[in-house]
Every structure is written in structure tokens, then in C-alpha cells.
Amino acid sequence: MKLKKGDTIIVTVGKDKGKSGKIEKVFLTRETVLVPGVNQYKKHVKKQSEQRPGEIVTLSRPLRIGNVALICPKCKQPTRVGYQILEDKKLVKKIRICRKCDQPI
């Protein structure tokens, strides 16, 4: 997965198109990301007892990774993620790069 926790993304499709935020959690098996304040839905919670009355709770649901784009911290534009392999003697490193400005993310 090319997106990681803490990355800033922008929504490209759906009812929240244009909204941005930081990734809070990544679900690898479902290929979704959770961004607080984006893709919110309301859920009706039934009354549990006299101390816990019924209410309407607002929840953030995960978004498919195909519906979001990473915002590059350097050029501040939505971009795709590429990889670059840096070889330094015995150490080989794979880093993420911005496809628009070729800077490391």
C-alpha cells in the first residue's frame, strides 16, 4: 500500500469530493483508509438503560484508496506515489517519491 498513517490526502470522488485530512488508520486487507471528519454517517443508538439514553452518533467510515489522492508535502498538489531505490554500499533503501516534483515524501 502506498499510503501510510499520517499522510495528508484529498478526496477525489463522492459526496466529500475536495475535502482533505490526515489518515488516522489504514486497513490493508480491505484497501481502505480512515480519515476523521470525512465520509461521515449518522447511526441511531438504542437506549441501553436510564443512564445511557438513545442518541444519534456521527461516525467516520473508511474510504477506498482509489477514491483519494496523496497531497505532496513539498509541492502541495495531489499526486501519485512512486518509489525510488537508494543504494548506499551495503544499505539498500526504498523511498516514496512524488510523481510531480520527484521529491521524497
Q: Is there a single domain that holds both residue 60 and residue 84?
A: no
Q: Please provide the average confidence, as pLDDT, over all residues in the chain.
A: 94
Quote the domain boundaries for residue 90. 80-105
- pLDDT 10s digits, 30-44: 999 999 999 999 999
Sheet holding 63-64, edge to edge: 25-27, 32-34, 63-64
Q: Is there a single domain that holds both residue 96 and residue 62?
A: no
CATH number reported for the structural domain that contains residue 60 in this entry: 2.30.30.30
Q: Is there a single domain that holds both residue 41 and residue 64?
A: yes
Q: Is there a single domain that holds both residue 37 and residue 64?
A: yes
Q: Is there a single domain that holds both residue 23 and residue 65?
A: yes
Q: Is there a single domain that holds both residue 61 and residue 92?
A: no
Q: Is there a single domain that holds both residue 65 and residue 89?
A: no
pTM: 0.83
pLDDT for the residue numbered 90: 84
Kindly tell me if the per-residue pLDDT of 99 is higher than 90: yes
- Asked if residues 87 and 80 have their Cβ atoms less than 8 Å apart, the reply is no
**Banded model confidence at residue 89, pLDDT cuts 50, 70, 90:** confident
Q: How many domains is the chain partitioned into structurally? A: 2
Give the single-character DSSP code of 77: S
- Asked if residues 10 and 19 have their Cβ atoms less than 8 Å apart, the reply is yes
Q: Is there a single domain that holds both residue 18 and residue 65?
A: yes
